[in-house]
């Protein structure tokens, strides 16, 4: 719509914002009217109309099989558009049009903002299935007529009341029509069922909706008075009411077709099961985070015990083995600490990599600088945990075997995410400028425990590839290539 309005019309940004607000609301008008809506705006030179938006009803058959957005119509071809635009009134004259052997009633509703008519809504009703309307359909049509008059007067939509139509109640979910005093004139079967679930034992018609709603909600002192006003439809609001056995979501729309408040339209839906599932998910998320938190605490306790044991061992080899175990446990604890702070089982691994790099750098025999370039991005927990251990082992191996006491150097971790045809891949390169690999070294056959752990985790747990080769100039390069799930954008 933005492109069409800016390309063909003279409307400014504030007018365009008003049209966006209208389009966010007009599904309601379409459903209440059982009709298609097409928004026509006059072009810059005033000789044509351009259709910038279209809406089909959920409550009846469509009148348009084709998409009308972007069509241009010369002024004069559709006299009802001209009359609505020039005279600023709703035009209903004329006989039904025939489109592919289907009779269609056409009406034109001017769209007014601050005294100016910005465009015209063509309301097209498929008359092929016309029959004697029920009480529900009559209420729909009367409410649609009131909303159309408010649009023509510039009183609808309501400024500052942007509505999320995916989350708000729709006409088919439940509808209640109130008079000017807030007394229920009509309640659809769905609306009545929702109130029965809240605990209402009688019919709604003839009762004050605000008072009835406040009585059904748990006693909350001064809040009850505000709830009664909201449910009376005195202002455009969305709110929820929770009773002992159910939750309903309500949206109040004051009706002022001729400037005077004649009543209100209240849309509602039963969201009991939705809210129950949301609470279950919140409880589940909290439980998972607590589990990760406790696992992290337990791992830190294990690491502390291993550290204490290492201090009591006189053998240097035994002490080093326990200190390596401390770092392995610590790398896993970092992942669980991060997971305990998230709502899902995915983590931003860059922070974990930096913490692992800092933890391992503490054991460097010389003055070795560690740095990370590139992004690991967001990874699943089942990838993050083994990858953190692999990174710990590779960094520890580089620092212990690449540099001697007092030597200076650098260890760089480079991470690159790349999307292949079928899956995304993470390529991690760990390179140092140390003494390099011994002659005849084979990474796939090396027998020390650290490299065995790396091979097992990369090839078994991560279904990836691992290699360790001499760096181009000096030192050692370790290459990890693993499949990962793509990041959410």
**Tens digits of residue pLDDT in 260-288:** 999 999 999 999 888 888 887 777 777 77
109 has pLDDT over 80 = yes
Q: How confident is the model at residue 447 (pLDDT cuts 50, 70, 90)?
A: low
Query: How far is the C-alpha of 358 from the C-alpha of 186, rounded, in Å?
Result: 69
258: left (phi over 0), alpha (psi -120 to 50) or beta: alpha
Question: What whole-number percentage of the chain has pLDDT above 70?
Answer: 93
pLDDT in tens, 311-348: 878 777 787 778 778 777 877 787 777 777 766 678 88
pLDDT of residue 489: 45
Question: Is the link from the previous residue into 3 a cis peptide, with omega within 30 of 0?
Answer: no
Q: What is the mean pLDDT of residues 100-123?
A: 92
Q: What is the mean pLDDT of residues 369-387?
A: 88
Q: How confident is the model at residue 422 (pLDDT cuts 50, 70, 90)?
A: low
pLDDT of residue 420: 57
pLDDT of residue 488: 57
Those residues whose C-beta lies under 8 Å from the C-beta of residue 397, and which sit 6 or more positions away, are 450, 451
Q: What is the mean pLDDT of residues 409-429?
A: 83
223 vs 466 pLDDT, higher one: 466
Predicted TM-score (pTM) of the model is 0.64
Lookup: tokens for 82: 């001209």
326 vs 125 pLDDT, higher one: 125
Q: How confident is the model at residue 461 (pLDDT cuts 50, 70, 90)?
A: confident
44 has pLDDT over 80 = yes
pLDDT in tens, 301-321: 888 888 788 887 877 778 777
pLDDT of residue 297: 84
Query: How far is the C-alpha of 485 from the C-alpha of 378, rounded, in Å?
Result: 9
- Which residues, listed in sequence order, are joined to residue 224 by a DSSP beta bridge? none
pLDDT in tens, 169-197: 999 999 999 999 999 999 999 999 999 98
Query: How far is the C-alpha of 227 from the C-alpha of 245, rounded, in Å?
Result: 18
42 has pLDDT over 50 = yes
Angle 255-258-264 (CA atoms, 0-180°, nearest 5)? 10
Contact 126, 102 (CB under 8 A): yes
8 has pLDDT over 90 = yes
What does the mean pLDDT of the chain come to?
86
pLDDT of residue 417: 87
pLDDT of residue 30: 95
Query: How far is the C-alpha of 258 from the C-alpha of 156, rounded, in Å?
Result: 12
Query: Any idea which residue has 């690991």 for tokens?
Result: 376
296 has pLDDT over 60 = yes
Highest mean pLDDT: which of 38-52, 125-139, 199-213?
Answer: 38-52
Q: What is the mean pLDDT of residues 214-221?
A: 72
Q: How confident is the model at residue 224 (pLDDT cuts 50, 70, 90)?
A: low
């Amino acid at each position: 719509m933005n492109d069409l309005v800016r390309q063909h019309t003279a409307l400014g940004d504030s007018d365009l914002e008003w049209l966006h607000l209208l389009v966010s609301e007009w599904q309601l008008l379409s459903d209440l009217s059982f009709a298609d809506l097409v928004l026509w705006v006059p072009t810059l030179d005033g000789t044509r109309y351009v259709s910038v938006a279209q809406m089909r009803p959920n409550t009846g058959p469509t009148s348009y099989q084709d998409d009308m957005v972007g069509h241009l119509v010369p002024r004069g071809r559709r006299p009802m558009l001209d009359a609505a635009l020039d005279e600023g009134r709703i035009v209903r004259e004329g006989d039904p049009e025939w489109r592919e052997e289907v009779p269609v009633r056409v009406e034109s509703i001017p769209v007014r903002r601050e005294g100016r008519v910005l465009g015209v809504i063509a309301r097209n009703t498929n008359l092929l299935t016309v029959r004697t309307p029920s009480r529900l359909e009559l209420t729909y049509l009367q409410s649609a007529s009131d909303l159309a008059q408010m649009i023509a007067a510039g009183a609808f939509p309501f400024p500052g009341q942007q509505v999320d139509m995916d989350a708000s109640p729709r006409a088919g979910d439940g509808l209640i029509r109130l008079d000017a005093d807030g007394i229920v004139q009509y309640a659809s079967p769905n609306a009545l069922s929702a109130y029965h679930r809240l605990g209402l034992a009688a019919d709604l018609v003839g009762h004050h909706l605000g008072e009835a709603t406040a009585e059904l909600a748990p006693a909350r002192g001064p809040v009850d008075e505000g709830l009664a006003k909201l449910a009376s439809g005195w202002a455009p609001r969305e709110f929820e009411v929770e009773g002992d056995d159910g939750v309903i979501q309500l949206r109040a729309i004051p009706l002022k077709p001729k400037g005077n408040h004649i009543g209100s339209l209240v849309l509602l839906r039963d969201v009991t099961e939705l809210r129950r599932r949301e609470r279950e998910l919140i409880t589940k998320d909290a439980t998972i985070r607590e589990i990760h938190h406790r696992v992290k605490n337990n791992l830190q306790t294990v690491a502390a015990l291993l550290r204490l044991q290492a201090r009591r061992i006189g053998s240097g080899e035994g002490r080093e083995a326990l200190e390596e175990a401390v770092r392995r446990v610590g790398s896993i604890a970092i992942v669980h600490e991060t997971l305990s702070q998230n709502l899902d089982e995915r983590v931003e691994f860059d922070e974990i990599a930096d913490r692992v790099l800092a933890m391992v750098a503490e054991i460097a025999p010389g003055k070795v600088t560690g740095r990370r370039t590139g992004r690991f991005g967001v990874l699943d927990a089942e990838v993050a945990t083994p990858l953190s251990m692999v990174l710990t082992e590779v960094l520890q191996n580089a620092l212990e075997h690449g540099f001697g006491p007092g030597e200076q150097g650098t260890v760089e971790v480079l991470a690159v995410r790349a999307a292949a045809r079928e899956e995304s891949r993470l390529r991690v390169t760990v390179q140092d400028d140390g003494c390099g690999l011994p002659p005849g070294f084979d990474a796939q056959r090396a027998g020390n425990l650290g490299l065995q752990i790396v091979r097992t985790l990369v090839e078994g747990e991560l279904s990836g590839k691992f290699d360790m080769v001499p760096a181009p100039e000096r030192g050692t390069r370790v290459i990890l290539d693993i499949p990962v799930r793509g990041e959410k954008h």
